[in-house]
Amino acid sequence: MNKLYVIGIGPGEYEQMTLRAIHALEQSDVIIGYTVYVDLVREHFLEKEFLTTPMTKEADRCVMAFEEAQKGKTVSMICSGDAGVYGMAGLMYEIGVRYPEVELEIIPGVTAATGGAAVLGAPLIHDFCLISLSDLLTPWEKIEQRLLMAAKGDFSIVLYNPSSKKRADYLKKACDLMLTYKSGKTVCGIVSNIGRDGESCRVMSLEELRDTAVDMFTTVFIGNSQTRELEGKMVTPRGYRNV
C-alpha cells in the first residue's frame, strides 16, 4: 500500500522534532507543506523533493499529497506544531476516503501549548482548554461561548491565533469575556516565537493581558484561580501535598 505520513514538526527547529518525525522525513521521497513550514525543514533534507502551496490552499495541498503517493512515492505532509491540533490530520482523513489505496500515518509533534508552557514554567498542570481566536472557520459567537464556559469552569486556557491585522482587538474582547468569571489578578503569560529565534515570554495579570499587544506568533496562557507566579514562572498546582 502507498504510504503517506502526516507529520507535526513542532515549532520547526530540528532539535524539537521527534525522532519518529525525523525518521519518517528521511524515508520520504516527497515533502509537502505550506511554504513557510517547508522552509523550516528544507536544509535538513536537501535530497528530497519539496512541493508547497500558499495559505488557504489546504485542500489543494492534501490532494497533491495523495496524488504523489498514488505514484508509488513515500510522501510526508508537514504541519507546524501537532498535525492533530489545528493541523492537517482531520482534512487528510476526510479527503483520504477518495484514496483508499493510500495508507495514512499520523506522527505527533510539540504543539504551541506544550512548547510555550515549558517556557513559562508549568501553567497547564491541571485541566485546561485550548481555544483559537481565529474566526476564519469558526463563528465568533461560538468562540465567545467557549471562552465564557471555559472561564466559568475555572479552566486554565490557552489561546491560539490571538490577533491579526483584521482581528487586532480580539484578545481584548476575549479577556473582557473571561473577566466575567475570572479575577483581573489571574496569573497569565504570553510566549512569542516558541522554539525559534527571538523567543520571549512574559508573566502578567489578566488585567494587564487585556491591553497587551500580541500577534499570530504569540501563544497566550490564562491561569485558573489557583495559578501562581513563582520566581517569575507561571505555575498551576496539581493538588499534590507539598511536603
Q: Tell me what pLDDT residue 31 has.
A: 97
Four-residue CA torsion sign, 229, 177, 139, 214: negative
Looking at the DSSP bridge assignments, the partners of residue 156 are 128
| pTM, rounded to two decimals | 0.93
Q: Quick check: helix, strand or coil at residue 115?
A: helix
Amino acid at 137: L
Q: Which cell numbers hold the place of 69? A: 503517493
Q: How confident is the model at residue 164 (pLDDT cuts 50, 70, 90)?
A: confident
Q: How confident is the model at residue 243 (pLDDT cuts 50, 70, 90)?
A: low
Domain(s) of CATH 3.40.1010.10: residues in the chain? 2-107
Is pLDDT of 93 > 90?
yes
Domain(s) of CATH 3.30.950.10: residues in the chain? 112-235
**Tens digit of pLDDT for each residue in 42-80?**
999 999 999 999 888 899 999 999 999 999 999 999 999
CATH topology of domain 112-235: 3.30.950
CATH topology of domain 2-107: Cobalt-precorrin-4 Transmethylase; domain 1 (3.40.1010)
Cβ proximity of 102 and 70 under 8 Å:
yes
CA-closest candidate to residue 204, choices 216, 180, 220: 220
